[in-house]
């Protein structure tokens, strides 16, 4: 009976990679002992994150294996490990970490999670497989003293593009970008300060009378245009679930925008939200189908 109990305890305490007693070790030590996260461990050291990830947490780490790092283009890892790329490496690694202890049974019930990087990781179940951004979760629930590790088969990368660059690549915000340029707001939208933009598409602007847009783009109407555009911008990264929970938000123009749900669709003021949580390096974009106008003073 004692032998059977001993065998059962050993089986329970052994995790992927052959390490035992994982629940008695923190995330970093557990990863090192597993023997298949050597690149991740080296990256944490180069980024100066070892002590942080050894901290009390709790943290959930989506940990790329050595094979996952090997999928990156040749020379990428070596470049990231250089001292001059420390900030970039840190941004990538913290994108793999979520505050709190999120077990596998909880992961499959969420659509996304905000990482320590600040950007949102997309989570979905596809054909019975749990996908985190484009990476597949291959091992779950490796328990640690300060959180849990889920092993993924690819390195996931946060967006490096700032808001104007993301909008440009999307190809459907040409009028918004032209308006931001005319209002002198491109630099502000490209800064490091996190922002949330309710972005009207070209079709949204097309709903306005043609002469209205032409008038707003004139130099003498710069202040009015700036006021309208800033009414679409909120300070900080406000993801969809937080926006819906708050029901309103203060815009950079000074007025409040109201967020509501009607017939299963989300709205900001009278504009329907077509797409949510589009990450940028300095914020998040929610796509809307109409231009919203600040209340008259």
pLDDT at 57: 80
pLDDT at 297: 65
Q: How far apart are alpha carbons 125 and 110 in whole angstroms?
A: 10
97-99 and 283-288 beta bridge pairing: unpaired
Is the torsion defined by CA of 228, 274, 197, 213 positive or negative? negative
pLDDT at 4: 31
Cβ neighbours, 10 Å, residue 289: 15
Q: Which residues pair with 70 in a beta bridge?
A: none
pLDDT at 43: 93
Averaged over successive runs of 10 residues, the pLDDT of the chain (297 residues) comes to 34 38 74 90 92 90 94 92 93 94 82 89 85 91 92 94 95 95 94 94 93 90 95 94 91 93 91 94 95 85
pLDDT at 13: 36
pLDDT at 69: 94
256-262 and 248-250 beta bridge pairing: antiparallel
Q: How far apart are alpha carbons 44 and 28 in whole angstroms?
A: 9
Q: Are 152 and 62 in contact (CB under 8 A)?
A: yes
Task: Estimate the crossing angle of helix 222-230 against helix 174-182, to 10 degrees.
Answer: 130
User: Is residue 133 left, alpha or beta, with left meaning phi > 0 and alpha meaning psi from -120 to 50?
Assistant: left
Q: Are 146 and 58 in contact (CB under 8 A)?
A: yes
């Amino acid at each position: 009976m004692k032998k059977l109990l001993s065998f059962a305890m050993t089986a329970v305490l052994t995790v992927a990679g052959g390490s035992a007693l994982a629940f008695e070790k923190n995330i970093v030590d557990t990863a090192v002992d597993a023997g298949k996260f050597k690149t991740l461990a080296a990256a944490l050291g180069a980024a100066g994150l070892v002590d942080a990830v050894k901290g009390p947490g709790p943290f959930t780490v989506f940990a790329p294996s050595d094979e996952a790092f090997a999928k990156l283009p040749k020379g990428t890892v070596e470049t990231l490990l250089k001292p001059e790329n420390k900030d970039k490496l840190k941004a990538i690694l913290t994108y793999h970490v979520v505050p709190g202890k999120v077990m596998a049974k909880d992961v499959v019930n969420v659509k996304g999670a905000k990482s320590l990087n600040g950007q949102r990781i997309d989570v979905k179940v596809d054909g019975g497989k749990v996908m985190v951004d484009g990476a597949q979760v291959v091992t779950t629930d490796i328990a640690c003293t300060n959180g849990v590790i889920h092993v993924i088969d690819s390195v996931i990368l946060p967006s490096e593009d700032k808001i104007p660059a993301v909008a440009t690549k999307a190809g459907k915000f040409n009028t918004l970008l032209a308006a931001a340029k005319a209002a002198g707001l491109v630099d502000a939208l490209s800064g490091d300060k996190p922002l949330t933009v309710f972005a009207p598409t070209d079709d949204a602007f097309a709903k306005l009378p043609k002469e209205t847009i032409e008038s707003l783009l004139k130099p003498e109407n710069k202040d009015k245009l700036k006021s309208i555009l800033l009414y679409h911008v909120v300070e900080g990264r406000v993801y969809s679930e937080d926006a819906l929970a708050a029901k309103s938000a203060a815009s950079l123009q000074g007025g409040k925008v109201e967020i509501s749900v009607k017939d299963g669709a989300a709205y900001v003021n009278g504009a329907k939200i077509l797409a949510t949580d589009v990450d940028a390096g300095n914020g998040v974009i929610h796509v809307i189908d109409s231009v919203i106008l600040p209340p008259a003073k």
